[in-house]
Each structure stands twice: as structure tokens, then as C-alpha cells.
Amino acid sequence: MLVERFAENPLITPDDVRPSRADYEVIGAFNAGAVEYNGETILLLRIAQRPLDKPADVQIAPILNPDTGEIELFRKNNNDPNIEIPDTRGFYYKSKLYLTSISHLQLARSTDGINFTVDPNPAVFPKTPYETFGIEDPRITPLEGRFVITYKVVSENGICTALMETEDFKTFHRKGIIFCPMNVDVVIFPEKINGCYYALTRPVPMYLGPPAIWIASSPDLINWGNHKPLLPPRPDYFDSSKTGASCVPIKTEEGWIEIYHASDEKNHYHIAAALLDLDDPAKVIARAKIPLMKPRAGYETKGFFSNVVFACGHTRKNDEITIYYGASDESTAAAKTTIKKIVSTLQ
């Protein structure tokens, strides 16, 4: 068995999280960054909320007003001739996309990595004009004595990646947009390599090119360049449709192990691994011939958006890796594996 799902899964569900306002409900507690800090496992969860008691015949998009800091509701009737409703996650009005929920980041803490207590209040709430539709899918990299966090920012300007830093998971410092729309699923390597910082990025191109893992480097974490495609989708594999970085790369003797996510033609998400050169992570040494995980458990195959296992974080104890992953865009689950088992999936 390549991975062992925790018997306690899902570890965190929307019911475990108090909404930020009494008139809202939490519909997602998922896609968490993970890190060991002060003897605890810290998860920085994406919490998706929406207004309670939505009438069945309207669509509502909660949108931050960056001037007031308040969330305002954009409402349209289902029978409005300008509306289109592709699925539960959003709707189009006059060809513009709106989301039916808005996400923020909230901490959960555990001493055993299994039983988590979710903080009562958000850690980071949408604030800037680039975050009006929400902030999502954080990845936490321990780096040079503090933590750098990449996160997805969503607004009417586009979907892209911003950076923040924290030393204590109490105060978070925003550092601005580091990759233009559309670019998501960015993870930063946990150390400099030959004098440069490195990141895996996931541009989502228009017209030409698949959504694929690229690599970039930086002198200072703010300015990025030397962009190169790295792990494109492969026809006839489980990762034939899209690839994107998931966890912060894991340093091993063999190379950097990247645990990534990949979808197939049916839009089913998988978790898989690739091995990158220690001294030049723009070189791929090996890549998964089979995935580590695919949706199988009930909480993975049914949910807000079904058939998704999507990791944003892991923890490591020696050879043992715990992958924390979002299940069906709704809950947080975990699975254990080992470096050895991961390497066995590579070709």
C-alpha cells in the first residue's frame, strides 16, 4: 500500500469551524498548508463561507469591499437572461465569473497530527483589491528563520499568486503579487540553491499550452524570472490534463521530491511525485509512473466538488511523510507514506 489514509479521516470538516459571522455558514475547510511549529502541527486552512439561507431561486456572490473591509452580496435571480450556472462553485453574469463562496485562511493546531483544534477566528482575511473574491490554498515554506506563504488571490482582476510572511503565525505580512494571472499552486523551495530561491509555479495559459508545472528562480522572493516548463501533463497517464505543484519540495539524498497534483480527462484529481535534481531543480530526474493516491474514500469521491484529493502541505518525521490534503473541495484528510514508498512510484 503506497499510502495509508488516517482512520480518523476526515480530520476537519466544515462543521468544525465557526463562521466569521453569525449569518454565514462554512462550506469548506480544506487545502491547508502544513508545518511543524513549536511542537505542534499547524494547518493553515482555506475556509470557504457563504451567506446562510440562500433562496433556491437566486445566486449570491459574497465579495469584499476593500474600502470598508465588509463583504457585500452580489445577487442575481436564476432566471435573469444574463445568468449562466455551470456548477455549485460559481456563476457567470454577463459573461463574468462570480464565486458563490469567499475563502479566508484560518489556523488549526494539533499535538499528534491527527486531532486538530481550529482557532475561533480567521488568521488572514481578504483585505486588498486583489483579494475581493477570496484568498485560497496556502503553502507554507520554513525559510531562513521565518515562514513564507504563497497563496492564491482572486478578484475581478484575475486569479494569481501573492506572498506573505510570518514569524509566529500571529502577524502576517503581505508582500504583494509575485505571479501574474493566471498562475496558482506556487510552492517555494525551503532553501536557496546555488544562491537563488526557487519556486514551482502553475501558469494557466490561454489559447496555447496546458496548465502545467513550471519553475522560476529569484534573488529575493519578490522578483521572479528564468521561467521554464518543468512537468507538463502526459498523454495516456493519470496526469494527462493538468499538473500543479502541491507540497513544498522535500529534500532527500536522491533529489528534491515534489508531491504534485494532476487531473485526467475526467477531471479526477490525483496525488503523485516527481524527483528533481538537488543542485538544479529545473532538471527532472524521475517522474511518477503511477499516482500515490486517487479519490477512493467516500469523503474524496463525494462532496462540494467531487473526486478531488488536493494536497497543499505535508509534515516529515525522518523517512515518514504525512500528506494533508483537501477532499472533494470540502474537508481536510491525511495519509501517511514514506520516502521509500514515494521513490518506488518513480520511473
Provide the minimum distance between the beta carbon of 178 and a second copy in the complex, in angstroms, as a whole number: 6
Q: Is-cis flag, bond preceding 182, omega within 30?
A: yes
Provide the minimum distance between the beta carbon of 288 and a second copy in the complex, in angstroms, as a whole number: 21
Residue 73 grid cell: 452580496
What 3-state DSSP class applies to 339?
Answer: helix
Stretch touching a second copy by CB under 8 A, among 100-108, 149-157, 243-251, 307-315: 149-157
Binding of a second copy at residue 207 (CB under 8 A)? Answer: yes
Binding of a second copy at residue 214 (CB under 8 A)? Answer: yes
Provide the minimum distance between the beta carbon of 133 and a second copy in the complex, in angstroms, as a whole number: 7
Binding of a second copy at residue 100 (CB under 8 A)? Answer: no
**Strands across the sheet with 117-118, in order?**
24-37, 40-51, 102-110, 117-118
**CB neighbour class for 309 (10 Å; exposed up to 12, middle 13-18, buried from 19):** buried
Binding of a second copy at residue 206 (CB under 8 A)? Answer: yes
Binding of a second copy at residue 159 (CB under 8 A)? Answer: yes
* Contact pick of 201, 332, 337, 345 for a second copy (by CB under 8 A): 201
* Contact pick of 55, 69, 219, 298 for a second copy (by CB under 8 A): 219
> Contacts with a second copy: how many residues (CB under 8 A)?
42
Q: Which of 210, 284, 220 is nearest to 243 (CA)?
A: 210
Nearer to a second copy, 69 or 205 (CB): 205
**Strands across the sheet with 320-327, in order?**
4-5, 331-338, 320-327, 309-317
Q: Beta-carbon neighbour count of residue 192 at 10 Å?
A: 14
Provide the minimum distance between the beta carbon of 107 and a second copy in the complex, in angstroms, as a whole number: 27
Question: Which amino acid type is present at position 218?
Answer: S
Residue in this structure with the C-alpha cell 463583504, named with its chain if needed: 71
Binding of a second copy at residue 222 (CB under 8 A)? Answer: yes
- Sign, CA dihedral 198-150-316-200, equals negative
* Contact pick of 146, 173, 228, 283 for a second copy (by CB under 8 A): 228
Question: How many angstroms separate the CA atoms of 72 and 335, rounded?
Answer: 38
Apex 248 CA angle, 259 and 339, nearest 5: 50
Stretch touching a second copy by CB under 8 A, among 48-56, 141-149, 210-218, 241-249: 210-218
Nearer to a second copy, 1 or 206 (CB): 206
Provide the minimum distance between the beta carbon of 214 and a second copy in the complex, in angstroms, as a whole number: 6
List contacts with a second copy (CB under 8 A).
96-97, 133, 154-160, 176-183, 201, 203-209, 212, 214, 216-220, 222-229, 232
